[in-house]
Amino acid sequence: MSDVRYDLPLPRATHLAPGLYALSVAVPSGAGMLRHPLVEIVSATPEHRISTFHLGFDPERPNMLAAELTLPEGASKLEFQPGGNAMPRLGAVRIRRISSYEYRGQRLASGLTRLLRRPDQLLGLVPRAIGLLRTGGPRALYADLTRGGTAGASQGDYQRWIATIERLTPAALADIAASVAALHNPPLISVVMPVYNPPIALLESAIASVAGQLYPHWELCLADDGSRPETAVALRQLAASDPRIKLTQLPSNGGISAATNAAFTLATGEFIALLDHDDTLAPHALAEVALTLAEHPDAELIYSDEDKLSLSGRRYDPFFKPEFSRELFRSQNYLNHLTVLRTATVHRLGGWQPAFDGSQDYDLNLRVIETAAPGSIVHIPKILYHWRAAMGSVARGEREKTGPFDAGLRALTAHLQRTGFAGSVERAAETAYYRIRPAVKRLPLVSIIIPTRDQEGILRRCIDSITEKSTYGNFEILVIDNGSNEPAALAYLAELATRSNVRVLAYGLPFNFSAINNFAAADARGDVLVLCNNDIEVITPGWLEELVGWAMQPDIGCVGAKLYYADGTIQHAGVVLGIGGVAGHSHKYFPRSHRGYFSRLKLVQNLSAVTAACLAVRRDVFEAVGGFDAEHLSVAFNDVDFCLRVAEAGYRTVWTPFAELYHLESVSRGAEDDPQKLQRFHAEIGYMQSRWTLTNDPYYSPHLTLEREDFSLALQPRPAITKSQ
């Protein structure tokens, strides 16, 4: 790694006013030595690095570096970092102000060029574009073309987010420091760091990030786990630089848990924060923790958002996390960094266990959540930790280390045994994470409720897929006929009525999805209700086992499935509140194979709501909340309202990717396009907005957009409300 940098020679009379800029730097020779060329924006007095942008090679001009920058107020100069060990001779430097229209046009052109270079993606472009225009308008299509088929933040978007929304300016940091100074009885926070042979420069950077904290009430507890002599010498010198740094040096390498326990014995603070020996804390990290503790004095576990840090110091790949989701945490250790624990709790639980080395923190956090009181797990929705992508680090990719997966599997299995959860754990397909299979000790009768009208072919395909593909052995099908009059449909309904496990019920009132399902539920005989649209087709033979397994958990209410359009793109992967004003579907139109935002398309997780196009719920839960709201929500959003009322009653909603079905989406109902339907639709939107707070979905970060369903960054900030779960 190299810290070589120097002021970028800008043209004379360049005024760095706030706004969007296009920057280009000619590299006539030595381009090969550039690894991760960066440009940093530096403020005036006191000198402070505001944000960093990656410089990429222009594909049309191979000796030209280019970037689009967002300059905030106070920018005084630009610094260039080649990212290598030598400084190349630079040619002409050009910077010019661009309009937002030009910026968007350039991104759109880049997106289209990228598509044209991938013929395999062109086939589905037209239907995908039509779908995006229909549901989200031009903004949705633009976002899809410019994000290149990925979930989350592009590097350029993230650098703009750092500059315009995170905004760690000197003034902002001074405000945080002032808030800390006003705290009554601020806690001592012990930063625990086991050390074993990191690069000295990275170790120094990690320790410097603690020494540079805005929050002064900290101690750094270091345990040298038998490192090489030069590391041991460096540690002793660093420990001597500040009386708040404590050091113990172990005689030989004992492993990560032993070293962490040794560092923990030095801790005298009320809380501990975990830091790896080559990562860094944001300068306001401990201050934000202390301020959060002032608001949540009973917190047992606090975690923050995080990003990654390249060897050249470039921040990238931000992880904006949900509030605490037990099922997601059982699928992946998404709490990870920064994690803060109550010292007394760690003592009570016996610290870190060597049997789980590699996933020792996951094991400890699983033990913490088992006994944590409601409201004591708190998320800080801010990037407070920078995870170094060093060689061999898990930050570089899930395949860098295989041991942690096996250790995590053992830790999760032990957790389920301690909590009495009947089930097994295995690797989630196509990931390095986990899948829990709940064990169904008995096969409760399942009532599959299917409202329908005419459309014999659609209904037949739905029924055939259920009866021919399902491996679950105990279900009945209730077909609710809402006024069919087509001869083929009537004949098929008569045929269905002769089957032993199918009942056809007539509902003669005007269409009201909520009332129809309530009517059917009252006649259903099953302990579990599975609500299905008539345009659903089964893909996964074990879909009912998966849905029922989760629905039978005593604290689980609604369970949703993974649904696809006919072309294999995602129609439903759970519901996100606030998108489009009420709610939208997570990862809509993503390819079936896509892993989604930090693998969320592949993992069981808690969400605020799931669609009733395929929804499982125990009968007792359905009846406890009074079923669906037939008065206010006859067609739209009744499933969202139902899930929220179930959550109000104390149950969690689960979405699983391991029950897969096709959903042709309202084939028999048609479009909502006549005046009467539109009037009803807007009335239902108004009811939902008056009944529920929809802009702060706990399972969707306030830093992610409500304008699209792709988990991209929000263009405008929303209040980041710290919640406890």
> Do 228 and 345 reside in the same domain of the chain?
yes
> Do 371 and 475 reside in the same domain of the chain?
no
Q: 640-671: b or e for each residue (b if 16 or more CB lie within 10 Å)?
A: bbbbbbbbeeebbbbbbbbbbbbbbbeebbee
Using CA atoms, how far residue 143 sits from 46, 54, 132, 373, 486, in Å, is 38, 21, 10, 41, 43
Host domain of residue 233: 183-399
Within-domain flag for 414 = no
pLDDT tens digits along 568-584: 889 999 999 998 889 99
Averaged pLDDT for residues 326-337: 95
> Do 522 and 602 reside in the same domain of the chain?
yes
pLDDT tens digits along 343-354: 999 999 999 999
Within-domain flag for 202 = yes
DSSP annotation string for 90-122: P--EEEEE--HHHHHHHHHHHHHHHHHT-HHHH
**704: which DSSP letter?**
B
Amino acid making up residue 293: L
Please identify which residue in the block is written with the tokens 């044209």: 116
Pairing of strands 475-481, 502-506: parallel
pLDDT tens digits along 173-223: 999 999 999 999 999 999 999 999 999 999 999 999 999 999 999 999 999
> Do 363 and 478 reside in the same domain of the chain?
no
Pairing of strands 189-195, 271-274: parallel
Number of domains making up the chain? 3
Within-domain flag for 97 = yes
In this model, does residue 32 exceed pLDDT 60? no
In this model, does residue 384 exceed pLDDT 50? yes
CA distance 553 to 652: 10
> Do 125 and 115 meet the contact criterion of CB atoms below 8 Å apart?
yes
Per-residue pLDDT at 397: 44
> Do 87 and 187 reside in the same domain of the chain?
no
Averaged pLDDT for residues 684-708: 90
Within-domain flag for 200 = yes
Per-residue pLDDT at 148: 42
Per-residue pLDDT at 37: 67
- Non-local CB neighbours of 14 within 8 Å, separated by 6+ positions: 95
- Non-local CB neighbours of 134 within 8 Å, separated by 6+ positions: none
Within-domain flag for 598 = yes
Within-domain flag for 718 = no
Query: What ranges in 148-169 are assigned the alpha helix state H?
Result: 155-161
In this model, does residue 158 exceed pLDDT 50? yes
**CATH value at residue 558:** 3.90.550.10
CA distance 395 to 387: 7
Per-residue pLDDT at 707: 82
> Do 191 and 81 reside in the same domain of the chain?
no
Per-residue pLDDT at 567: 83
Averaged pLDDT for residues 395-409: 67
Backbone angles phi, psi at 297, to 5 degrees: -65, -15
Amino acid making up residue 42: V
Question: Crossing angle of helices 487-496/456-469, nearest 10°?
Answer: 30
> Do 509 and 451 reside in the same domain of the chain?
yes
**Cα 360 from chain centroid (whole Å):** 22
Q: Confidence class of residue 120 from pLDDT cuts 50, 70 and 90?
A: very low
> Do 263 and 382 reside in the same domain of the chain?
yes
Q: Confidence class of residue 22 from pLDDT cuts 50, 70 and 90?
A: confident
Backbone angles phi, psi at 527, to 5 degrees: -80, -25
> Do 674 and 579 meet the contact criterion of CB atoms below 8 Å apart?
no
> Do 119 and 242 reside in the same domain of the chain?
no
Within-domain flag for 404 = no
Q: Kindly report the number of other CB atoms within 10 A of residue 49's CB atom.
A: 12
Query: 372 or 85: which carries more pLDDT confidence?
Result: 372
Averaged pLDDT for residues 590-619: 94
Q: What percent of the chain has pLDDT over 90?
A: 62
> Do 224 and 109 reside in the same domain of the chain?
no
> Do 475 and 333 reside in the same domain of the chain?
no
pLDDT tens digits along 630-680: 999 988 899 999 999 999 999 999 999 999 999 986 544 444 556 777 788
Within-domain flag for 310 = yes
Candidates 474, 477, 460; CA nearest to 535 is 460
Please identify which residue in the block is written with the tokens 């069919």: 484
Number of alpha carbons in the 13 Å side-chain half-sphere of residue 316? 17
> Do 93 and 242 reside in the same domain of the chain?
no
> Do 449 and 529 meet the contact criterion of CB atoms below 8 Å apart?
yes
In this model, does residue 339 exceed pLDDT 90? yes
- Non-local CB neighbours of 717 within 8 Å, separated by 6+ positions: 165, 702, 703
The domain boundary residue, chosen from 384, 399, 414: 399
